[in-house]
Structure 1
Amino acid sequence: MPLIEETVVPGDSLLTLPVVVIGNGPSGICLSYLLSGYRPYLSPEAIHPNPVLHTKLEEARHLSIVDQDLEYLSEGLEGRSSNPVAVLFDTLLHPDADFGYDYPPVLHWKLEQHNYIPHIVVGKGPPGGAWHSMEGSMLTISFGDWMELPGLSFKEWAANKRRNIKSDRVMPEEIACYYKHYVKVMGLQKNFRDNVYITSVSRLYRGKDDEDRTQLNENISAQHLEMEDGQKSLIKRNWEVRGYQRATDGSHVPFCLFAENVALATGTFDSPGRLQVEGEDFPFVLHSMSDFGAAISKGKLRGKPDPVLIVGAGLTAADAVLCACNNNIPVIHVFRRRVTDTSLIFKQLPKKLYPEYHKVYHMMCTQSHTVDSNLHSAYTSFPEHNVLSFKPEMKCVLQSACGLKKILKFSVALVLIGSHPNLFFLKDQGHSIGHHSNQPITCKGNPIEIDPYTYECTKEANLFALGPLVGDNFVRFLKGGALGIARCLAIRQKKKHELIESRDGGDGVP
């Protein structure tokens, strides 16, 4: 579905949208669901296990959650997200999930067409985002139920598709198919544009400060946007969004459109983390599980006498270790932390639910290299070691915490130390909107700074962010961002319509 051809420059009559969502993964999909008019209400017979929260919900049972005070509802709640609305929405969808309970949601959903806010969700691939490119042989860290989006049970979807789901954890391929189907079954396709690459998102009008900009926008001729019901609404051009859409023949069709609001839902899988050491650009140094899987499937590592070198102590690195072991490839595992470090992700995972990861952790602890020992035949860990450089003869120079250096030979190196978002299309690559100004945006160290209840960037009006960009890595929590943004935009749309009606005399007669 084409966007719009770039035949004119800003200032001519171009399409203006209330919202453009950049990123079509679960964050963007969930936001589109709410912007399309779906509203959550407290189910008639539902009783939330948190009595204080349930009392608050009962006070406004007739209102959707979108129309309620999110700060009031989320007050006092605790969970595994630093964003209060994320914790609130999660406990409504998965009550007491962190305590091991499998309670049903206390919400039911209604489609209210009058709450539809026109928007476009753009992504580089099909709906589902990065889930379509993840290694398909590994299980997700989260349960399948926690990966689902509002209104469509993952288990019911899997049963209807006759998919054989053997455990509560599922493969990324299953999740990617679920997200793609979700967009279709919920009737959201009209809002989605695939094969779209954004190259620039910029302000059209800037004043000395927000007041100047607001006054300037008021004096700019407004753009009419045709709504679904045929009515027209006055909308200011706050953002210019440029990019191109890849056509079926491989050609690039440029476009330019305007948006009153932009929501960033790109996730953090764009740019793999790098060690920034000498030799990291050699072709035998890989930075993704997909590249490693491709090398194995093509037989490039078959019969190699030297081990694969894996750098990193997260779950993706653990997946790589498991993948290598399952293919009888010896492993050298290098990571900076101590095996007793309490911040290691393995410390947070129950052994019964994640036996394969605890198998890796056990090897990390018991099969580590010492000064007096040789490499183990199948796996050897190097805790508290840093990579100093890679050499062209496929050797690696390591340095221990006490300064000792060691040179190791390997067949291929795999650097898996996290990933970062690529916000090159924003001014200064988005460095100015993080908690720490002038530093790259990262999920843990420097997420985008937002209002905790509206998810609007505190340093850039009408720019919103959700999901990993604001620190919510897990799907179960990113849905809260969609709720916060939808409520904020719904309030603004209502005020805008009231203003238009008052200017028209309040009786609909011009």
Structure 2
Amino acid sequence: METDTVVVGNGPSAMILSYILHGWIPFYSSDPPHPDPLLDTKLKSASNLLDLDVDELTAHFAASRLSYSTQALPINVLLDTLVRPSLDTEESGNISNVQWRHMPEKAISHLVFGNSPNPGGQWTEEPSGASWDIQTLSYAAMLSLPGYSFADHHKKGTGQDLAPFTRPARREIAEYFRVYPTAVHIDHVFRCGEELNGISRTANGFYIKSHDLHCKRLVLASGIFSEILAPLPILQPILQTQPTPTVPLLVVGSGFTAADAIISASPDQKIIHVFKWAPEDRPSPLRACHQQAYPEYAGVYRQMKKAALAVDGVPSRRSKPRRGLSNAFLESRQWDEVYEGLSNVEITAVEIEDGLAQVTFRRTDGTTFSRAVKGLVYAAGRRGSLGYLDTKLRTEILKHNNLDSDAVTMQSLRAQAIDDLEVAPGVHIIGSLTGDSLVRFAYGGCVYAAGHLIEGREKQRVTRSACSSAASIQAHSLSLPVMNGIDGHHIYPSDIPEVTREDTVSKVSTVSSSQGWWHTLAHMWKDFLR
């Protein structure tokens, strides 16, 4: 079995890339013009977004009056602002400067493989310790894919227009991603619930041992969130206990997953929250959550900060809460009664007796104390894996980074992504493997990879066409079989990748002239063999 390209992973980035590889090509649309007039001017002369000079187009971003991200890759920032130019400043999230044109002749044969049973990757997994109905961090427009937006999906299901700045439930997004490939007619290339392994490089591309499949190019879209970090061995016994509202649930973690578990818990559920507190060196990502946009996450962070400052003996500067800090979430439970935050403590012992876990903690000053808990949410993070690649190919991609393990994190391939998303010949990375984990920033890498794949395929077509034409003319002139070379070896057009159409026309014209056609023909074959 053979296909041109294999995409590993079936999450949002894989779906965006597949949409483009089906021949849906993005072009810049200046109706209306982009809010950045300089960018608008630059793109009017280069509307095909598969062929971009990213450095030239983004050179002015740092000095622009618009707020461009300085954390994401330039290509990802560029496509994000084109797909959703006014999302952060206007209520209309459906305005776009990208027009998707169907050009079937550009399509590339490909297959998309993913471990998850449905399209959507990690989004299809039931949240650990959290509710399916918890709201997403991103607005619906930031999670929308080309050709069939979440707003389209919402209207199809409810008959109602989507309200501006909607944060959908995770359940809703999982369902949207599940039906997306069918909605845009790309579902026939998706192979969900299938695990690839033993991918190796060959002379002509790659071989996937698990599926006896050959491909010419490989796109890694498996992400950095595919594997949940397991609880430390000392904590494993707590998993045997069942949570009850009257006995605290132990939540371990400083980020969004831990916060999701706290937010999803019933208002009367007692919680002991163990977290790292290092606001200067490694602050919790919850700190960036605005009070109005993300009141529940800001509320959890406020409780964490309050607990950490109490341990450090820092008195409150205000006897009354500041106006505007309270919200419906904070007022939904009696925090002093149900929440206990423990910052920078170490768990030193766990004993199970009669379905109750007695946990011993050690403070930074060496003192210890104990708490009884039932149930555990361990939210210390996730990581990805390149274990589906054989050792040689994995080493080629990772280079000097983490060669003793197949695990990948946000930083594993970031430096290479900054340099080029083609991290090895014929191998591209997209999605969170690039170091940008938000769906809104997936477009850039997908457009970049698709541009390379389509351009490479078209060059190959020109090469084969040119070589075939030249070989036919030469064979006719010499009365020799087309595939016979001047040195007696067989020659195939695919073995001559660098010949262009212009080169061939020039050489064929020379052959047809009366000036030493045999000498010219011999030199032409030598050029082909180089």
TM-score of Structure 1 vs Structure 2, range by shorter chain: 0.7 to 0.9
User: How far off is 1:120 after superposition?
Assistant: 0.1
Deviations 1:22-56 (A, max 9, x none): 11110110110111111111225221111221111
Q: Decide whether aligned partners of structure 1 residues 384 and 142 sit closer, same or farther in structure 2, where only a CA change above 3 A counts.
A: same
Structure 2 residue corresponding to 1:471, chosen from 413, 416, 435: 435
Structure 2 residue corresponding to 1:154, chosen from 145, 150, 154: 150
Q: How far apart in 2 are the matches of 1:388 and 1:274?
A: 17
TM-score, normalisation: structure 2:
0.75
* 1:319 is aligned to 2:254: no
The one-letter amino acid of 1:161's match is G
Cα pair 1:19 1:118 within 8 Å, conserved: yes
Deviations 1:148-190 (A, max 9, x none): 0122232232012117767610111211222222211211012
Number of aligned positions between the proteins: 432
* Other-structure match for 1:383: 343
Q: Decide whether aligned partners of structure 1 residues 173 and 438 sit closer, same or farther in structure 2, where only a CA change above 3 A counts.
A: same
Structure 2 residue corresponding to 1:357, chosen from 297, 311, 316: 297
Q: Decide whether aligned partners of structure 1 residues 442 and 424 sit closer, same or farther in structure 2, where only a CA change above 3 A counts.
A: closer
Deviations 1:345-387 (A, max 9, x none): 2221221111111221222233456499xx9530000122233
Q: Decide whether aligned partners of structure 1 residues 98 and 402 sit closer, same or farther in structure 2, where only a CA change above 3 A counts.
A: farther
Deviations 1:318-341 (A, max 9, x none): 011112243x22000011114677
* 1:264 is aligned to 2:229: no
Q: Decide whether aligned partners of structure 1 residues 342 and 398 sit closer, same or farther in structure 2, where only a CA change above 3 A counts.
A: same
* Other-structure match for 2:468: 504
The one-letter amino acid of 2:292's match is K
Percent sequence identity is 25
User: How far off is 1:81 after superposition?
Assistant: 4.0
**Counterparts in 2 of 1:70-469, with a 5 A limit?**
70-77=54-61, 78-79=68-69, 81-99=71-89, 102=92, 104-124=95-115, 125-135=117-127, 136-162=132-158, 168-204=166-202, 217=203, 236=204, 238-243=205-210, 255-274=211-230, 277-282=232-237, 284=239, 300-302=242-244, 305-326=246-267, 328-338=268-278, 343-367=283-307, 370=311, 376-393=336-353, 394-428=357-391, 430=394, 433-434=397-398, 436-438=401-403, 440=405, 441-447=407-413, 449-452=415-418, 455-457=421-423, 460-469=424-433
Q: Decide whether aligned partners of structure 1 residues 500 and 340 sit closer, same or farther in structure 2, where only a CA change above 3 A counts.
A: closer
For residue 213 of structure 2, give the secondary structure of its aligned residue in structure 1.
Answer: strand
Q: How far apart in 2 are the matches of 1:163 and 1:330?
A: 40
Deviations 1:277-325 (A, max 9, x none): 442333617xxxxxxxxx9xxxx4236x421111111011001111224
From the two aligned structures, give the one with the greater helix fraction: 2
Q: Decide whether aligned partners of structure 1 residues 44 and 83 sit closer, same or farther in structure 2, where only a CA change above 3 A counts.
A: closer
* 1:22 is aligned to 2:8: yes
Q: How far apart in 2 are the matches of 1:95 and 1:46?
A: 10
Q: How far apart in 2 are the matches of 1:241 and 1:56?
A: 42
Return 5+ residue gaps in structure 2 as ranges: 62-67, 314-334, 474-481, 483-530
Q: Decide whether aligned partners of structure 1 residues 443 and 51 sit closer, same or farther in structure 2, where only a CA change above 3 A counts.
A: farther
* Other-structure match for 1:492: 456
TM-score, normalisation: structure 1:
0.77
Structure 1 stretch 360-369 or stretch 117-126: which is displaced more?
360-369
Q: How far apart in 1 are the matches of 2:403 and 2:366?
A: 32
For residue 395 of structure 1, give the secondary structure of its aligned residue in structure 2.
Answer: strand
For residue 66 of structure 1, give the secondary structure of its aligned residue in structure 2.
Answer: coil
